[in-house]
Amino acid sequence: MKEKIVAFHDKYYKFLLAIPISFLLFSFIYIGFFYYKNNDIMYKDISLTGGTSAIIYEKINSNELKQFLFDKLEDVSIKEISDLVTQEQKAVIIETRSSAEETKDVLEEYLGHKLTEENSSFEFTGSSLSESFYKQLLLAMVFAFVFMAIVIFIMFRIFVPSAAVVLSAFADILMTLVAVNLFGMKISTAGIVAFLMLIGYSVDTDILLTNRVLKRKEGSLNHKIFGAFKTGMTMTLTAIAAVGVALFIVKSFSVVLTQIFSILIIGLLFDILNTWVTNVSIIKWYVEEKEKK
């Protein structure tokens, strides 16, 4: 069985690269169209566009509320928060582009009582500020990525394997972004933090692979790759399981953590493809070419 897989991989690993390449191509085209249509690379929630997020700690029928708010506030969306165990509704989150004062007035009109800090929370971000937040967070992403790439190049000091690691991390982030857009997820500041986390998570397995292949003298190339694969898959699957369980628990409770965990899981799934197909194929190709010379 194992020999068969090895023989298959030896024969076809270059062709396997077609999978990530087609994914990447699709991603680029998709993001291009997305940008053309929305003038941005992702859907943003009010923490990045500016507006108000209000939480009311009451049992409120969210459909009725939405009907009421629909023509009174700008761009309203409503989510419910419920208890993990009893599934009983605990609060509603109202997000709108309107200002905090306006939102508060309209909500008080609907509820028929005052909203105080006892029964509600309000978060307001001005649109110019959130716009600059967004730009800076994207900039922070770019910087983080570049810094990471520099460390990788210093660490391995060989172009092709280093570039393979950086490419895998890049593909990972791009594919995750595409998936998130396809799901129609509105990204918050926390979501961008999740992408930052992804940079760290995705290069871990790539570093492991590259280190085992380049710096070990013992064993065949396939042996080294397979060893790295076993360790790396344990790492990624453990992470996916842990994040998945955490996601299940916070899902009803925290919108912020739900988004972070969802993006991480998507990213980790793509990491499997990008480390064990993209990166493995490139580094195997590189080592075999070098051995021929």
Partner 1 sequence: MVCRREREEMKLKLTWRIWILIICLFFSFLTVFGIPPSFLQKGVLITSVESNSTAFEQGLRQGQIITKIDSQQVSSLNDFTASLHGKFDSNESIKLIITTKEGEVILYSNKTPQITVSEIPKTKIKLGLDLAGGSRALVKAQDFDLDSSAVRDLVDITNNRLNEFGISDVKVVPVSDLSGNNFMLVEIAGATPKDLQDILAKQGKFEAKIGNDTVFIGGKDRDIASVSRNAQDSGIERCGESGGSYFCRFRFNIYLSEEAAKRHANITAGLDIDPENPEYLSKKLDLYLDDKLVDSLFIGVSLKGQVTTQVMISGSGTGVTEQDAFTDAQNSMHKLQTILITGSLPYKLEIVKLDTISPLLGKEFTKSILLAGIAALLVVSIIVFARYRKFKSSLALLFTSFSEIIIILGIASLIQWNLDLPSIAGILATIGTGIDQQIIIMDETKQEKYLSLKERMKRAFAIILGAYFTGLVAMIPLMWAGAGLLKGFAVTTIIGITTGVLITRPAFTDMMKKIGE
- Count of residues interacting with partner 1 (CB under 8 A): 73
Contact with partner 1 (CB under 8 A): which of 160, 190, 273, 287?
Answer: 190
Q: Segment contacting partner 1 (CB under 8 A): 8-16, 67-75, 83-91, 269-277?
A: 83-91
Q: Measured between alpha carbons, how far is 186 from 48 in angstroms, rounded to an integer?
A: 10
Residue 230 belongs to what H/E stretch?
helix 221-250
Residue 45 φ/ψ, nearest 5 degrees: -95, -175
Contact with partner 1 (CB under 8 A): which of 14, 113, 216, 290?
Answer: 216
Nearest approach, Cβ of 12 to partner 1 (angstroms)? 27
Question: Within positions 26 to 55, which residues make up the interface with partner 1, using CB under 8 A?
Answer: 55
In the bound state with partner 1, the residue whose beta carbon lies nearer, of 87 and 128, is 128
At 89 the three-state DSSP class reads strand
In the bound state with partner 1, the residue whose beta carbon lies nearer, of 125 and 181, is 125
Q: Residue 113, interface with partner 1 (CB under 8 A)? A: no
Instruction: Give the contacts of 234 (CB within 8 A, at least 6 positions apart).
Output: none
Q: Measure Cα distances from 211 to 113, 246, 263 in Å.
A: 63, 31, 27
Contact with partner 1 (CB under 8 A): which of 37, 215, 292, 293?
Answer: 215
- Please give the single-letter amino acid code of residue 230: K
Q: Residue 265, interface with partner 1 (CB under 8 A)? A: no
Nearest approach, Cβ of 119 to partner 1 (angstroms)? 7
Pair of tokens at residue 107:
């909500």
Residue 280 φ/ψ, nearest 5 degrees: -60, -45
Torsion of CA 16, 18, 23, 29, to 10 degrees: 170
Long-range CB contacts (within 8 A, 24+) of 150-158: 152/203, 152/207, 155/207, 156/210, 156/214, 158/214
Q: Measured between alpha carbons, how far is 177 from 280 in angstroms, rounded to an integer?
A: 23
Contact with partner 1 (CB under 8 A): which of 243, 266, 277, 280?
Answer: 243
Contact with partner 1 (CB under 8 A): which of 38, 61, 67, 121?
Answer: 121
Nearest approach, Cβ of 186 to partner 1 (angstroms)? 17
Q: Residue 93, interface with partner 1 (CB under 8 A)? A: no
Question: Within positions 141 to 180, which residues make up the interface with partner 1, using CB under 8 A?
Answer: 141, 143-145, 147-148, 150-152, 155
Q: Residue 117, interface with partner 1 (CB under 8 A)? A: yes
Contact with partner 1 (CB under 8 A): which of 27, 96, 103, 120?
Answer: 120
Residue 121 belongs to what H/E stretch?
strand 120-125
Q: Residue 123, interface with partner 1 (CB under 8 A)? A: yes
Question: Within positions 267 to 286, which residues make up the interface with partner 1, using CB under 8 A?
Answer: none
Question: Within positions 221 to 240, which residues make up the interface with partner 1, using CB under 8 A?
Answer: 227, 230-231, 234-235, 237-239
